[in-house]
Amino acid sequence: MGDPNIIYCSKRYLMKKYLLVLLPFLLFGKPSAFSQTGKIDSAQFRKLRIDPATARGVPVKELFTSIAYVPLETTKKSQFGEISQLEVVDNKFIIFDFDTWSVLIFSNTGKFINRISARNIATLNGLPAANEGNIFNGFALNKVAGVNYIDIVSKGNILRFTLDGTLSKKFPIGGYRKPFVLKDGTKVIPDYTADQKKYFEFLIVNPKGDSTTYWPYAQDRYAEDDFIIGGNRFDKAANETQLLYYNYYSYDIFSLNGTGVKLNYRVLLPNSIALPPDFSTNSIYKMKKWDFLQKNKNMVYGLRNTWLIGDYLFLTLDALAQQISNKKTLAYNLKSNQVISLQNITPDEISHFLPVNDSSIGTNFLAKGFLTFDGTNLYTAISCVSMAKLKTQIKDSGVDYPMPLKNYFSTDQSVSNPVVVVLTSHISK
C-alpha cells in the first residue's frame, strides 16, 4: 500500500489500524445538556497557495532553537521495532509499536520504564493471546482528577494503566469519555452521537456548559463509501486555546474553540496534485476513491499534523506516492508566504551537524511526518540503521556530540531501539 499509516475504510475493507485512530473517539459518552447544530463562520479566511515542488530547505537554526537526540534504552525487554504512535506526558515517552504489538514507556531521557504487551492485555482481560491484532490497537492518554493515565481498549473493556505501566483499573467501555480540553475548559468531543441515530463530526461544550454539534453524518457512511484516513483530524495550536480541524478529502483548515467553528485557511494546491473539487460528493467516485487514488498516487487526499507554531503553519500533505522526492511535510511562513520543506532541512551546529530526520536515505519521515507536538517541541524518530547511515554523511569528523550520542555511537547500533529526535521550535510570544 505504500504509506503504512494510511487507513482504508469501506464496506469491502476495514484495516485494523483504523481502530487506532478512531476507537478512542467513537467510544465517548454524551453530555446530557441539550445541543444545537452550529454554523460555520466562513466570512473571512486566508488562501494559502502551496506548491510542494517549489518548497526549499533551510538551516535547522532558522526554525528551531535546539535539537536533542534521545536514544531509547535497548534491553531484551525494551527492544521493539518502530514507533507507530508517540505521546509525551509527564516527562515520559509513551510508545505503541505495531511490530511487537506493545505499549512501551520510557523516560524523556530514554531510560526504559515498562512494557505492556498484547499478552499482558490478554491475561488481564481474560482473553486468549493467539491473535494479537484483535486484543488491542494502540492507546489513548486520559487525565483523571489531575493524574495522567494510559487507556487501552480491549474487547469491550478499558484497561487503565499508570504511567509506570501498572494496571490501575478495568471497566466496561460504556461511559468512556475523553474529549479534547482547551485551556479555558472548552471540550471538543469527536464522533459525537446523542441517541445512536444522529451522528456528528464533533460536539463543542463551552465553559458555560452550552453544547453545539457540527457536521452531521450518516451512521453507515463507512459502509456506503470508502474513506482513506491519514490520521487524527484534530490538532492543538501551540497556545492550546484552539483546535485546528480538517475534514475528509478537503484542504480547508478550521479553528475550533468555545465560541464556535471558523474557517481559517484554504490550502490551494497545483491542479496536478489536487483532488477534483467534487471528489467527496460526486457519485462517480462512490466506492471508487481508493481505485482513483491508486491510479493517481501524487494526488493529495487530505491534510494531517497541522500545528500553528509561532509564525508558521506546519502541515503534512497526504498522498499515496512514497518517492523520496515527494515533499509532504511543510512549514508555511504566515508572514512571508515562504514554504519550507521539512524533509530538506539542512543540518547545522544546532543539530550537531546531524540530519534531523531520515529523508535523505529513507521514507520513515516521508510517510509519517512528525509523530507528535507537545506545545513546544516536535518529535520524530530515526531507526538505528538509518542513524548509522546518517552519521556517515557528516563531513566534519571532529563534531563534539552530547554524551548520550557519544555512548550511542560507541555501541552496536544494529540491534538498538530508535532514536527520538526532539525539535524545540521558535515560538513568537
Q: What is the pLDDT of residues 289-298, one digit of tens each?
A: 999 999 999 9
Q: What is the pLDDT of residue 8?
A: 53
CB 254 within 8 A of CB 262: yes
Which residues on adjacent β-strands are paired with residue 289? Answer: none
Tell me the three cell numbers of residue 303. 491534510
**Predicted local distance difference test score (pLDDT) of residue 5:** 53
- On the question of pLDDT at 30 being above 70, the answer is no
Asked whether the predicted pLDDT for residue 60 surpasses 90, the reply is: yes
- Give the residues across from 324 on adjacent strands: none
Contact 353/347 with Cβ under 8 angstroms?
A: yes
Q: Which residue has the higher pLDDT, 282 or 225?
A: 282
Beta strands in 39-107 (DSSP E): 40-41, 46-49, 64-71, 85-89, 92-97, 102-107
Start-to-end CA span in the chain (Å) = 42
Helix (H), strand (E), coil (C) string for 99-131 = CCCEEEEEECCCCEEEEEEHHHHHHHCCCCCCC
pLDDT confidence tier of residue 426, bands split at 50, 70 and 90: confident
Asked if 287 contacts 11 with a C-beta cutoff of 8 angstroms, the reply is yes
Q: What pLDDT, on the 0 to 100 scale, is given for residue 193?
A: 86
Contacts of 357 (CB under 8 A, 6+ apart): 342, 343, 345, 364, 365, 380, 382, 421
Report the predicted TM-score, pTM, of the whole model to 2 decimal places: 0.89
Q: Which residues contact 417 (CB under 8 A, 6 or more apart)?
A: 71, 72, 73, 74, 78, 79, 80, 384
Statement: residue 9 has pLDDT above 60: no
Residues with Cβ < 8 Å from 332, sequence gap 6 or more? 48, 50, 312, 313, 314, 315, 338, 339, 340
CB 174 within 8 A of CB 125: no
CB atoms within 10 A of CB 374: 13
Asked if 399 and 409 count as a contact pair (C-beta separation under 8 A), the reply is no
CA distance 22 to 233: 10
93 alpha-carbon distance from chain centroid: 14
**Neighbouring residues of 378: CB distance < 8 A, sequence distance ≥ 6:** 307, 309, 314, 370, 372, 422, 423, 425
Q: What is the pLDDT of residue 39?
A: 94
Residue 20 pLDDT > 50: no
Output the pLDDT for position 221. 83
Tell me how far apart the 2 most distant CA atoms of the chain are, in Å.
66
Specify the pLDDT at position 131: 62
Spatial neighbors of 324 by CB under 8 A, at least 6 apart, are 343, 359, 360, 362, 363, 366
Residue 4: pLDDT band with limits 50, 70, 90? very low
pLDDT higher at 323 or 18: 323
pLDDT of 18: 35
| 42-58 confidence digits (pLDDT tens) | 999 999 999 999 999 99
Contact (Cβ atoms closer than 8 angstroms) between residue 82 and residue 418: yes
pLDDT at 204: 96
35 pLDDT tier (thresholds 50, 70, 90): low
333 phi and psi angles, rounded to 5 deg = -80, 110
What tens digit of pLDDT does each residue of 140-168 get? 999 899 999 999 999 889 999 999 999 99
CA distance 159 to 97: 18
The string of pLDDT tens digits covering residues 184-213 is 999 999 989 877 778 899 999 999 999 999
> What's the mean per-residue pLDDT of the chain?
87
Positive or negative torsion for Cα 318, 187, 201, 45: negative
The whole-angstrom separation of Cα 18 and Cα 296 is 22
Interatomic CA distance for residues 84 and 87, integer angstroms: 10
**Lowest-confidence range among 276-285, 366-375, 419-428?**
419-428
The answer to whether 82 touches 383, Cβ cutoff 8 Å, is: yes
- In this structure, the strands spanning 40-41 and 260-268 are parallel
**CA–CA–CA angle 39, 44, 47 (5° rounding):** 115
CA 186 centroid distance within chain? 21
Residue bearing cell 471540550: 187
pLDDT (tens digit, 9 = 90+) per residue, 227-260? 777 778 899 888 889 999 999 899 999 999 999 9
**What are 88-143's pLDDT values in tens digits?**
999 999 999 998 999 999 999 999 999 999 999 999 988 876 665 678 889 999 98
Q: Would you state the pLDDT for residue 336?
A: 97
Distance CA 376, CA 426 (A): 9
